[in-house]
Amino acid sequence: MSEKTGNDAAKPRKVAIVTGSATGLGAAAAVMLAGRGCNVVINCTKSRSEAEATAVRCRTQGVEALVAQGDVSDDAACRAIVDAAVRTWGGVDYLVNNAGRTTFIPYEDLGALTKETFLDIYSVNVVGTYQMIRAAEPHLRRARGAIVNVSSIGGVTGIASSMAYAASKGALNVLTRSLALVLAPEVRVNAICPGAIQTRWLRGGMGDEAYEKMITGLSEQLPLRRVASPEGIANSVVAFLLDHTEVTGETLNVDDGLHLGRLPSYASTDKGRDQF
């Protein structure tokens, strides 16, 4: 692994791989990990120029960063991503499985959700995550490292951009628990379940008008009266990796209170309170 300078010269830097990290939450997590002293692998499927820009942001934190292009639904690509980290720095300490895929399909339109769509979404969100973990397993065990799988509140509530996406994230939550048992005691495995995040990915899927309407509506309705930024969610990713060293097999809702639902209308009136 590469060495630090000065008083930390004898201490190798930790190495983190963040899939789907050209933009959005993945990029925010990568930059935050760089700020905590990790060398970082930035992964993208297509957005090479944006991945390179994120790598530059990481390097400004005084660490090293490289871009490894590849689709995690391809097992050979997963192995190549891990190999790039090991070849460059000698190992892998942390893995963030952030790469995700969805299609925006109304739940009521059962005919629009095909077998091919299901398999395409699962190939990244579930199988891709598994393949990345399998490829990194020996290095993570050696480092006594940690994994965070980026799931979704849709995997808890069943409501998301499509039924297939929600189902894939529910499967990912179960996979997280299974792998936490398998990889213990050397490797911790946890998942976060974000709600809506203010990202280009979500805007692109919904369209500008629907996206702005949703952000405004959620900002008024959510218990915390806001919609998360990528950096806000990345805080939980980094905390699971670096700080919460006694936690494994956990699935954390990071959704500004969306999972709580809403109080019934009578609960906020004096007349309603008189009835209890």
Write out the catalytic residue numbers: 165
DSSP string, 100-122: -------TT-GGGS-HHHHHHHH
* Contact partners, residue 88, CB within 8 Å, separation at least 6: 2, 39, 64, 66
CA 31/CA 37 separation, integer angstroms: 10
Rounded to whole angstroms, the Cα distance separating 273 from 225 reads 23
Contacts of 264 (CB under 8 A, 6+ apart): 272
Distance CA 21, CA 23 (A): 5
d(CA 59, CA 61): 5
Say if CB 147 and CB 179 are below 8 A apart.
yes
Q: Please state the φ and ψ torsions of residue 139, each to the nearest 5 degrees.
A: -75, -40
Residue 17: CB atoms within 10 A of its CB come to 32
